[in-house]
Amino acid sequence: MPERSAEDGQDLRIAWKGGVSIEHTDAKLMMDPQSNHVDCSYAFVSHAHLDHSKAFRLNGLSVSSSKQTGDIISDYGYRLDNWRPLSDKGISFGDVEVVPHSSGHVLGSFEFEVSTPEGTALFTGDFNTRFTKTMKPAEPIPCDVLIIEATFGSPSFIFPTEEDISEDMIDWAKDTIRKRKIPTFQTDPLGNAQEIIRIFNESTSIPVATHWRVSRINRIYESYGYKLNYLDAKTKEAEEIISSGELIFIAPKRLDLSK
């Protein structure tokens, strides 16, 4: 990202410096920092996926995120010594104000509106503009500069609808069960896993069992009012259903399933 400065001596500077750096006068803010060597007075984390939440594993950074993100990060086993939950009202640094908005991605995901006398920048990590099984879409936020993650930014990426994907998943799962095998989805414990649970809860009567790492995130979702019908794979009830083979199993990515 090339550095951007406002014209005529104005003092809004945006650049990539091991994270998205937004500076105005004495305020040095960093969005989703990725390095131990960032130079900032305060850091913000958009959501708890590990490729965005490295700030919690960096020494000495003062960090803000949503309360939900803090809960998830704490469940991952990281200490929150220099963390402060960010309220809807935001936080101010002199004449710079940072206000969070839902990005519609996963539980607790934020995009950050950074308002300065020289204009407003909006930073978002992963975001979503459509209703999903667990998330409401992000709403448009007026801004002068939009800083956006573009994992699938190329026009060559054209994805099926959620309805089509859900139908394919259910058909595959039923066919796999008929073959006396257990259909297994390997996915992020945060976000995709809960979407899959809801897909099968809403459209089938097939029981869902989840790996303990997924179950722990499920419980955080439930603590914020989300309804998820699943069985932790370690429970006796789940073991009985697993022995029947008529269920789906949700496990983390890169888990060795040979056992």
Write out the H or E segment, with its range, that includes residue 172.
helix 162-178
Taking alpha carbons only, the member of 136, 149, 70 closest to residue 104 is 136
pLDDT of residue 174: 97
Report the SS3 class of residue 169. Answer: helix
pLDDT of residue 150: 78
Q: What token pair was written down for 31?
A: 């969005």
Whole-model pTM: value is 0.90
CA distance 107 to 105: 7
Please report the domains of the chain, with CATH numbers, ordered by start residue.
4-148 (3.60.15.10), 162-252 (no CATH)
pLDDT of residue 151: 80
pLDDT of residue 10: 59
Per residue of the chain (259 residues), give pLDDT as tens. Answer: 445 544 443 588 999 998 999 999 889 999 999 887 788 889 999 999 988 999 988 877 889 999 999 999 999 988 888 899 998 889 999 899 999 999 999 999 999 999 999 999 999 989 999 999 999 999 999 999 999 987 888 889 998 999 999 999 999 999 999 999 999 999 999 999 999 999 999 999 999 999 999 999 999 999 999 999 999 999 988 888 888 889 999 999 988 887 6
Kindly list the distances between the CA atom of residue 246 and the CA atoms of 187, 243, 249, in Å, as whole numbers in the listed order.
20, 8, 10
Taking alpha carbons only, the member of 236, 245, 228 closest to residue 173 is 245
CA distance 76 to 66: 16
